Structure 1
Amino acid sequence: MAKEAAGRLFRKGLNCAQSVFAAHSEMTGISVTDSLKITTGFGAGMAMMQKTCGAVAGAYMVIGAKYGRVNPDDEKARDKTYGLIEEFNRRFIELHGSLDCRELMGVDLKTKEGAEEAEQGAYFEKKCGSYVDDAEKILDELL
């Protein structure tokens, strides 16, 4: 199951986006290696910018890989993709209150104080691990 795979990848030290997207490599047809490369820059809210949560971004890519359009005239595929992402967002926000990494973490990782607090409090393991798990749970329900 993808949820367990994502959790394993995350516990190995891969970022949130990598863990969510690579866990679905069989479904997407993109190798684990390529999935990990593609999503490297999405961790910690887009390369440590603390914007959209990487687990959320990884989930968007999974949904797009399964339902996204390749033809600009394929409005049905676009609408299905947008609808699933909208529902994913609703459920994730219901659980965590935000899609924004900085809000979810509660610290600014770009400051020395914020980075130290996150490190000392094991925020990545505790908080981000739950975001990866919940992103996977929501994906399992939607896909």
Structure 2
Amino acid sequence: MESRIQKTLENHAKGYNCAQAVACAYCDLVGMDEQSVFRATEAFGLGMGGMQATCGAVSGAVLLAGLKSSCGDLEAPVSKGKTYQISKKIVEGFQKKNGSTVCKDLKGVETGERLRSCDGCIEDAAALVEQILFAEE
């Protein structure tokens, strides 16, 4: 697969939030249309509640993990363990690179010390998506 990191940054420059920027760039690879993913990830922007929670870029990446890994079987949902492991790799990789997964910490809201820009977070989350979810594609 050709890298789509630049596409994630273009999405963000168009006004997509961080979650939308990441998830929409790869949505076709998980069988979803862009408008549906755009709508589904809208509430994950700005750290889910005004920078108080998980970075939207990470949320978008984890959403992709679920869409790619879930068996989708409503009667026997047996794929959760695998999906959780993949999501954990993404979250841990992001945490290791940036020192946090919390938007307000990444932006330095309380400390005045910004750990990573939104574009940087988007790049990092997209790189993890490519390395962990779509490395062989």
Q: Which residue of 2 aligns with 1:87?
A: 89
Which of residues 106, 131, 134 in structure 2 aligns to 1:141?
A: 131
Identical-pair percentage: 31
Aligned residue for 1:7? 9
Match of 1:41 in 2: 43
Residue number in structure 2 paired with 1:131: 121
Aligned residue number for residue 120 of structure 1: none
**SS of alignment partner, residue 117 of structure 2:** helix
Q: Give the match for residue 71 of structure 2.
A: 69
- Which of 91, 95, 98 is the aligned partner of 1:96? 98
**Counterpart in the other structure of 1:113:** none
- 1:8 is displaced (CA, Å) by 0.7
- Is this contact kept in 1: 2:44–2:59, CA < 8 A? yes
Deviation at 1:49, TM superposition (A): 4.4
Deviations 1:76-131 (A, max 9, x none): x21211111111111111100111111111116xxxxxxxx8xxxxx8xx701000
Task: Output the CA distance in 2 between the equivalents of 1:102 and 1:12.
Answer: 23
Q: Equivalents in 2 of 1:9, 1:47: separation in Å?
A: 21
Q: Larger Rg: 1 or 2? A: 1
Letter in 1 for 2:124: D
Tell me the TM-score normalized by structure 1. Answer: 0.81
* Alignment partners' CA distance in 2, 1:83 and 1:130: 24
Say if 2:18 is the partner of 1:16.
yes
* Higher mean C-alpha deviation, range 81-90 or range 58-67: 81-90
After superposition, the C-alpha distances for 1:25-82 in whole angstroms (9 at most, x for unaligned) are 211222112211111111011142420110010001000000023235343x212111
Give the secondary-structure state (helix, strand or coil) at the position aligned to 1:24. Answer: helix
Any gaps of 5 or more consecutive residues in structure 2? none
More helix by share: 1
* In structure 1, C-alpha distance between the alignment counterparts of 2:126 and 2:104, rounded to whole Å: 20
Query: Does structure 1 retain, via aligned residues, the 8 Å contact 2:51–2:102?
Result: no
